[in-house]
Amino acid sequence: MNWEEDKFKFVPGTIAPDDHSDAHHIVISGNQIVAPNGAKVWRPFTDDEMKWLGCDIISKHYLGEFDSKPCFVHEIMEQKTAPGGHQYIGLYGVLGQVQADLFSVAGRAVQVLEWHRNHIFCGRCGTENNQHDVDRAKVCGQCGLMAYPRISPCIIVLVTRGEEILLANSPQFPAGMYSTLAGFMEAGESVEQTLHREVFEEVGIEVTNVQYAHSQSWPFPNNIMLGFYAEYKSGELKPDGNEILDAQWFHYKDLPNFPGNSAISGWLISDYIKQFDK
């Protein structure tokens, strides 16, 4: 995985250019993304396709530029069937279909729309919010409270022991799926403290030599995954039975089903294995 290859394809922005006649349009109904009918994989709508969509737009938000074109997210009324003969797809479905750069744009669209829905009114005094002139923020005209899109930081870590890696099964995983350990940061914690706490709470071991690897926006619903490697230090595996049902050491040549390279867990695993194949 080339971590830098897509970094210039999307340029975030809050103010749409005057000329946006050739743009990308992401359409969302409820929690579903509308997929253009006939497209082999999900993609945004073109301008011509938007003209024939045939439904009212509840809200519209400029996201920035993707592939040098303006990109918008449109909220439409929630309805059972997609408009215009198109189809619905969930964000997890998009994750499995498209490259990381396009998934990132779809995830941004979902998060911006959720932020808009959840901050129509001020959370402190109840007054209706206004859109900030420049920033991606809502501003209360009464008390001045500003509400930015929420981002919840999480750690995700691949624990290693030489040629073995620690993978775990969680209740929400598909049958037979194993992945890396992960958890949310708590107020007042450093990232390193979160990592050590989560590993010990979930599987009962201690780790050392923590090294930062990469990060990924994870819009389920609004996380940023901070990816690390850590080496086994001590302890016996004891899954907590709640968040983790099973945890095992796997040799890198004999791995169970694990996430693919559309998710940071898959990136961490695949990159670690590469060192043994040189």
- Supply the DSSP symbol for 165: E
We report the CATH number of the domain holding residue 33 as 3.90.79.20
In a domain, 134, yes or no: no
Predicted confidence (pLDDT) per residue in 220-239, tens digit: 999 999 999 999 999 999 99
Rounded CA separation 42/236 (Å): 44
Rounded CA separation 258/267 (Å): 11
Q: What's the pLDDT score for residue 99?
A: 87
Question: Both 241 and 195 in a single domain?
Answer: yes
In a domain, 138, yes or no: no
* Residue that is last in its domain, among 66, 96, 118: 118
* Residue that is last in its domain, among 118, 137, 161: 118
Rounded CA separation 35/90 (Å): 10
CB atoms within 10 A of CB 158: 22
In a domain, 139, yes or no: no
Q: Average pLDDT of 42-59?
A: 94
Predicted confidence (pLDDT) per residue in 262-273, tens digit: 899 999 999 999
Q: What's the pLDDT score for residue 2?
A: 40
In a domain, 266, yes or no: yes
In a domain, 234, yes or no: yes
Question: Both 177 and 67 in a single domain?
Answer: no
Enter the tokens of residue 224: 């940023």
Q: What's the pLDDT score for residue 3?
A: 39
Question: Both 157 and 259 in a single domain?
Answer: yes
Question: Both 159 and 269 in a single domain?
Answer: yes
Predicted confidence (pLDDT) per residue in 170-200, tens digit: 999 988 999 999 999 999 999 999 999 999 9
Kindly list the strands in the beta sheet with 138-140, ordered across the sheet, starting from the edge strand earlier in the chain. 129-131, 138-140, 146-147
Q: Average pLDDT of 2-23?
A: 77
In a domain, 1, yes or no: no
Q: Average pLDDT of 250-277?
A: 94
Query: What are the start-end ranges of the E strands in the chain?
Result: 10-12, 24-29, 32-35, 57-66, 69-76, 87-89, 129-131, 138-140, 146-147, 152-161, 164-169, 181-184, 206-218, 223-234, 246-251
Question: Both 111 and 156 in a single domain?
Answer: no
5 pLDDT tier (thresholds 50, 70, 90): very low
Q: What's the pLDDT score for residue 100?
A: 85
Question: Both 268 and 157 in a single domain?
Answer: yes
Q: What's the pLDDT score for residue 8?
A: 53
Question: Both 79 and 31 in a single domain?
Answer: yes
Q: Average pLDDT of 20-27?
A: 93
Please list the alpha-helical segments (H only) found in 31-99.
47-51, 91-95
We report the CATH number of the domain holding residue 194 as 3.90.79.10
In a domain, 87, yes or no: yes
* Residue that is last in its domain, among 60, 92, 118: 118
Domain count for the chain, please give it: 2
In a domain, 136, yes or no: no
Rounded CA separation 242/110 (Å): 29
Question: Both 184 and 226 in a single domain?
Answer: yes
Question: Both 217 and 161 in a single domain?
Answer: yes
Rounded CA separation 122/273 (Å): 49
Residue 7 has pLDDT above 70, yes or no: no
Q: Average pLDDT of 14-22?
A: 90
- Residue range(s) defining the domain that contains residue 168: 152-274
Q: What is the largest CA-CA distance in the chain?
A: 62
Taking alpha carbons only, the member of 224, 218, 260, 228 closest to residue 104 is 218
Please report, for the chain, how many H helices and E strands are present, in that order.
5, 15
Residue 4 has pLDDT above 90, yes or no: no
